[in-house]
Amino acid sequence: MFIDSFGSMVFSEKVMKEVLSADSFRKLMKVRNEGMPMERPLADEVAEAMKNWAVEKGATHYTHWFQPMTGSTAEKHDAFLDRDRDGEPILELSGKALLKGESDASSFPSGGIRETFEARGYTVWDPTSDAFIREDTLCIPTSFGSYDGAVLDKKTPLLRSLETLNRQAVRLLRIYGEETRYVFSSVGLEQEYFLINKEDYAKRRDLILTERTLFGAPTPKGQVLDDHYYGTIRPRVKAFMKELDEELWKVGIYSKTEHNEVAPCQHEMAPVFARANIAIDENQLTMDIMKKVANRHGFVCLLHEKPFEGINGSGKHNNWSVSTAEGDNLLNPGKEPENNLRFLLFVTAVIKAVDDYQELLRVSVASAGNDHRLGGHEAPPAIISMYLGRKLRTVVDSIINGTDLKTAYAKSAKTEQNDDRNRTSPFAFTGNKFEFRMPGSSENVSCTNYILNTAVAESLKQFSDRLEKHAGKAELEDEIRKLVREELTAHERILFEGNGYSEEWVREAERRGLANIKSTPEAFAHYCDEKNVRLLTSHGILSREEIRARTVIGVSKYNNIINVEARTMLVMAEKDILPAAVKYGSEMAYGIESKQALGLDVEHETSILADINSHVKELAANNMRLKSVLDGQPADPEEAAMNAYRSILPVMNEERRIVDELELLLDKHSWPYPDYTDLLYYV
């Protein structure tokens, strides 16, 4: 059975218990769960056991697997092979090598926090995330930083945010009268993706270089019939999903759900929840495995947020909750949420966090790809708001207004539905968790989660500061209810139950003072807002310099993506599209001349040829404009990003309009690329 191979390639707690002494296993669990320091003798024993286990599984190499600021993962493989004092070959992994590694870091993005010649980077083992084997290599999850201690990765701030959330949540629970060993945020990531034929992908220069179609006239069907959504999975795709599950299960990923999504050839997989850093490690691994498995089935897996114009894009829905070490979900409302003070405290803390740091959350999902996705086709708008569902919203309104809850329940329809969905809401309560729907499908969501963890921790800290003097006293419950009412009233503006796509909501959001940040450059302009810097520095997540570096990295990546896309457009237009249109026009002109010689009517053909010639002329002129705006980019990364958004993208959009119209004028065999019907409706 498949369950027999589940986790077979993971150095899990079960394996650790089998291969370590009882005392060492107990100490390692304290390191994993309570943050105790790792002593060298323990590291040596764990490393030896890990190496022996990996070699038995066929591994010959090990790597410190880390997540630099590129957003993807990185690895440098070292063989277990070494030589002893007699010059004979041995297999070795020392505790020192397990705990810390050195990698050349000169070419990873640093945002100016270090010079290019400062080449050293150090990887440090994350013992809370299990090591695993991929092919012949033992992968050891690690953090990544510079020689002088600067944070150069996505994982370190996330681990720090988990610590601060734990500290503040445990503190508040103690004031409330409850004890727990620790508190952590857990995450479930719904991963959307497209599968297209490998041979079609190979014929599209834009897909190869940018992973999205820069040109493409709409297919007549699109997704208007909604027949793909949850439809029967095609045999080829089902075979891919079967192997994907098998590969994910081997490395201990609880791949649970798979189905067709709304757009043709779009699909989704969702795993079971896990501790935030583990869930994100597993998602990074999942995306890598998806691409490799797809290749073996004649597919290419597209993780771009908007690979096709006019149909759904792909997101990575971030389902977030917070639990105790004993497995108690602190966002579980119970049967009577109005009387569950602990739940009200924690849900109020999340509402306050999202409202206070809405700009920072928008930064966390900002990317060139996501800019194309947000605001339509089931993606939430750029305005952040929260949807609570009928029952919880009724409770919240009753608390704010001081009204009788039974009367409010009687007036509210379907109040038993805790987990009603609003597909246009960026941040929705869905029963015992919040679903943040804004992250893009290709993103590493460490940033999203360290911001969310830290913002909620700040709310909890403020609550504890206020409630601490009432701890153990009779008035504590009244003070909690007073605090909850005041905070919900102060942050009611972030709550919205309606249609996030409507123009009325845009106007209403502006009236409420909510941010409407439409582009990545505008989003990153808020990263260094003083309140955001204060939040992240006061909790020890990032320094001011590291925040600034992430701003530079974000806008520079945006610039590079827009630049690559624009130059790819130019190459496609000049090397493929214009020659095809000119050739087709010449053949049509010859046909017109031949028919005229026979005295036949050529009005229709002449009209089409004139239209083609007009588009060819328009495209050639727009190419010149595109070259001009590209050559005029400012040197400053932030200025360049804003210029790309305001000046380059409009010219690119015009380029696309001209080419897509031209595609409809040429016959299919004359067009140099597979069209949308070819790409989306393969057998």
Q: What is the pLDDT of residues 613-634, one digit of tens each?
A: 999 999 999 999 999 999 999 9
Residue 334 has a pLDDT of: 92
Closest C-alpha to 491, from 333, 398, 356? 356
Q: What is the pLDDT of residues 362-393, one digit of tens each?
A: 999 999 999 999 986 668 899 999 999 999 99
Mean of pLDDT values over 493-498: 95
Q: What is the pLDDT of residues 27-67, one digit of tens each?
A: 999 998 878 888 999 999 999 999 999 999 999 999 999 99
DSSP β-ladder status, 89-91 and 81-83: antiparallel
CB 179 within 8 A of CB 173: yes
* 397-401, 460-464, 480-484, 599-603: least confident range: 599-603
Q: Quickly state the pLDDT bin for 113 (edges 50, 70, 90).
A: confident
Residue 83 has a pLDDT of: 86
Beta bridge partners of 171: none
Only one residue has tokens 């896990």, namely 274
Neighbours of 397 (CB within 10 A): 17
Residue 116 has a pLDDT of: 59
Residue 467 has a pLDDT of: 95
Mean pLDDT over each residue of the chain, to the nearest integer? 92
Residue 326 has a pLDDT of: 92
Distance CA 384, CA 500 (A): 9
CB 346 within 8 A of CB 230: no
Distance CA 198, CA 672 (A): 17
Residue 409 has a pLDDT of: 63
Distance CA 655, CA 632 (A): 18
Distance CA 581, CA 671 (A): 8
Phi, psi of 482 (to 5 degrees): -65, -45
CB 524 within 8 A of CB 638: yes
Predicted confidence (pLDDT) at residue 420 exceeds the cutoff of 70? no
CB 144 within 8 A of CB 236: no
Residue 377 has a pLDDT of: 64
Q: Quickly state the pLDDT bin for 407 (edges 50, 70, 90).
A: low
DSSP β-ladder status, 274-275 and 299-302: unpaired
Distance CA 425, CA 387 (A): 6
Closest C-alpha to 188, from 450, 435, 366? 435
Distance CA 404, CA 393 (A): 14
Secondary structure of 168-221 in the HEC alphabet? HHHHHHHHHCCCCCCEEEEEEEEEEEEEEEHHHHHCCHHHHHHCCCCCCCCCCC
Q: Burial level of 669, CB count in 10 A (0-12/13-18/19+)?
A: exposed
C-alpha distances (whole Å) from 193 to each of 23, 304, 451, 615, 655 are 45, 8, 25, 34, 27
Mean of pLDDT values over 489-509: 94
- Region label for 575, one of left (φ > 0), alpha (ψ between -120 and 50) or beta (otherwise): alpha
Only one residue has tokens 């029967």, namely 232
Secondary structure of 397-464 in the HEC alphabet? HHHHHCCCHHHHHHHCCCCCCCCCCCCCCCEEECCCCEEECCCECCCCCHHHHHHHHHHHHHHHHHHH
Distance CA 87, CA 578 (A): 65
Q: Quickly state the pLDDT bin for 415 (edges 50, 70, 90).
A: very low
One-letter amino acid identity for 47?
A
Distance CA 645, CA 117 (A): 32
Distance CA 299, CA 243 (A): 13
Q: What is the pLDDT of residues 637-658, one digit of tens each?
A: 999 999 999 999 999 999 999 9
Q: What is the pLDDT of residues 433-474, one digit of tens each?
A: 999 999 999 999 999 999 999 999 999 999 999 999 998 889
Q: How far is CA 320 from the centre of its chain?
A: 13
Phi, psi of 101 (to 5 degrees): -130, 165
Q: What is the pLDDT of residues 253-297, one digit of tens each?
A: 999 999 999 999 999 999 999 999 999 999 999 999 999 999 999
Residue 185 has a pLDDT of: 97
CB 562 within 8 A of CB 648: yes
Q: Rounded to the nearest 10 degrees, what angle do helices 276-296 and 235-250 cross at? A: 140
One-letter amino acid identity for 242?
K
Residue 224 has a pLDDT of: 77
C-alpha distances (whole Å) from 66 to each of 31, 114, 158, 253 are 20, 19, 13, 18
Distance CA 593, CA 579 (A): 21
Residue 119 has a pLDDT of: 64
Mean of pLDDT values over 150-158: 94
Mean of pLDDT values over 407-425: 60
Q: What is the pLDDT of residues 295-318, one digit of tens each?
A: 999 999 999 999 999 999 999 999
Residue 472 has a pLDDT of: 86
Angle, vertex CA 573, rays to CA 569 and CA 578, nearest 5 = 170
Q: What is the pLDDT of residues 313-369, one digit of tens each?
A: 999 999 999 999 999 999 999 999 989 999 999 999 999 999 999 999 999 999 999
Angle, vertex CA 500, rays to CA 497 and CA 503, nearest 5 = 120
Predicted confidence (pLDDT) at residue 106 exceeds the cutoff of 80? no
Structure tokens at 212: 């999205």
CB 626 within 8 A of CB 652: yes
What's the pTM value of the predicted model, to 2 decimals? 0.94
Predicted confidence (pLDDT) at residue 410 exceeds the cutoff of 70? no
